[in-house]
A = this chain, B = another copy of it.
Amino acid sequence: MTWTTDGAKEGRREIKRRQTRERIEEAAMSLFLERGFDATTIEDIAERAEVSKRSFFDYFPSKEEVVFAWQDGFADHLMAAIASRPADEPAVKAVQHGLVGAIVSAADERAMALGELIRRTPTLKARDQLKYAKLELKLTEALKARSRSDEERLRVRLLAAVVIGALRAGGELWNEQPPGTSLETFAHQFFGDFWKTLADFGNEGQGR
């Protein structure tokens, strides 16, 4: 009997299971990046991962999930990042710093390739939008946990909506940036503009 560092039991069974899962993920990703998402069949993946087609579905409910399971960690990471900001920091700033932190630490080689894949695959692009919706939901939760007053609900929801909007617009803008630009610098600059613009919109929207 084997024990992991955190004291949980992990027999041969779960070891193999984890390895198989990783093998499938690896096989799928490499195939997607090689030939594209649509041109890769589940049997291709199963073959490379040395499992049966049927077993693929024991690990992932669909082809798309292989792509997005990977990304799901981001949302949790973001929530944690926000929760760890000082309690007296205004919500707006906590989101900004939490978000920038989470993005910077998530933006590696692999993530970029994945982004490219998603961007050029219509099916995935549609599904990708759902990610933002989920993120908005989680963000709302994370913010609610921070705010003491209960009637701030609408504000919190709007903040989440607006910030996710910024994330999308900012992401697009980032993709148009010349390569070699520092993501961190860009993000800070972007948020600077963003808050300023938001204030303008707010003021124009009210009587002026």
Give the CA-CA distance A21 to B155 in the complex, in Å. Answer: 44
User: What are the interface flags for A147-158 relative to B under an 8 Å C-beta threshold, 1 for contact and 0 otherwise?
Assistant: 000000011011
B165 pairs with A162, CB closer than 8 A: yes
B165 pairs with A161, CB closer than 8 A: yes
- The one of B90, B169, B192, B202 that contacts A161, using a Cβ cutoff of 8 Å: B169
User: What are the interface flags for A114-155 relative to B under an 8 Å C-beta threshold, 1 for contact and 0 otherwise?
Assistant: 000000000001110110110010000000000000000011
**Closest beta carbon of chain B to A151's beta carbon, Å:** 12
A198 pairs with B205, CB closer than 8 A: yes
A 91-129 contacts with B by CB, 8 A: 91-93, 96, 125-127, 129
Q: Does A1 contact B (CB under 8 A)?
A: no
A168 pairs with B161, CB closer than 8 A: yes
Q: Is the interface of A mostly helix, strand, loop or mixed?
A: helix
The 5 A-B residue pairs with the shortest CB-CB distance in the complex, in nearest-first order: A199-B202, A195-B205, A198-B202, A161-B165, A129-B129
By a CB distance below 8 angstroms, the chain B residues around A166 are: 158, 161-162
**Closest beta carbon of chain B to A90's beta carbon, Å:** 5
Q: Does A196 contact B (CB under 8 A)?
A: yes
**Closest beta carbon of chain B to A79's beta carbon, Å:** 19
B205 pairs with A191, CB closer than 8 A: yes
Give the CA-CA distance A50 to B196 in the complex, in Å. Answer: 58
By a CB distance below 8 angstroms, the chain B residues around A199 are: 198-199, 201-203, 205-206
Contact A195 to B200, CB < 8 A, known contacts A126-B126, A154-B173, A158-B166: no
20 contacts between A and B (CB under 8 A): A90-B208, A91-B204, A93-B204, A126-B130, A129-B132, A154-B193, A155-B200, A157-B173, A158-B169, A159-B201, A161-B165, A161-B166, A161-B168, A161-B169, A162-B166, A164-B165, A191-B205, A195-B204, A198-B198, A199-B199
